[in-house]
Homo-oligomer: A and B are copies of this chain.
Amino acid sequence: MSYGSNLSAMSEDLVGRRHVGGQIRREIMQLILDRRLRPGSPLPTESELMDSLGVSRNSVREALKALQALDIVEIRHGYGTYVGQASLTPLVDGLTFRTLSQVDDDTHALGEILQVREVLEEGLIRRVAETLSDAELDSLEAIIERMEEKGRAGEAFPEIDREFHEALYTSLGNELVPQLLAAFWNVFHRVARVRGWARDPAPAVTARRHREILTALRARDVTHAQRAMADHFRGIEARAWQATLGVK
């Protein structure tokens, strides 16, 4: 035997120490929870982790790489390892991969994502329509004016679009909502970029649909707002299906 000593492996012997890799991953996560480390806090170095966990550097690194993929830790080359933001980037990676994986019809996988986003936003706008303050309506107004300006120039405005939908739901005080929507948005546009789809061919129409949503919100007309949102998604779907047909 070359490397032995099994300092702290006794506890796992009864369990059969199955899948040491996943075990180390859980132990590092538990370490973060136990020490109440916040996102951005420094983690022990790899050397310290191999000592405290009693495993080799390779095992520690594989576990850290897995946690990095989940955005649970953040590794800065030559500097250190830190607690991550636990964002939804893993969801984006997974959904993007899954969608690209269905070569025959990405419309299916993409349509599913779009349907979920539509259901979400239709329900969310109902709740937000009642609690939206005048100040928030004004800031939405400013965003839409930038849209219309781009629309007049015939330029697409994916980032402003994203900004609008994010600003719509800030008043809910729900951090998860904008992150989920942003995740879906990222998947959609990443797939579009890989597939080489064209940009929005009619930005003025898209801007008008957003304007429609805002006027409904100003009137506190929940039904109208919901229908305007649904129309907006019809537009998105039309663009996507047209793009897939155009490419084929």
Contacts and interface: CB of A to CB of B under 8 A. Distances in A.
Interface string A21-54: 1000100010011001010000000000000000
A70 B25 CA distance: 13
Interface of A: 19, 21, 25, 29, 32-33, 36, 38, 58, 61-63, 65-72, 77, 86-88, 90-91, 93-95, 97-98, 100-101, 103, 109, 112-113, 115-116, 119-120, 122-124, 127, 172, 174-177, 180
Given A33-B97, A66-B68, A112-B175, 11 more contacts: A33-B100, A33-B101, A58-B61, A69-B90, A86-B94, A90-B93, A90-B94, A112-B176, A119-B119, A119-B120, A120-B120
Contacts of A122: 123
A196 to B, nearest CB: 15
A91 B88 contact: yes
A114 to B, nearest CB: 10
B88 A70 contact: no
B36 A116 contact: no
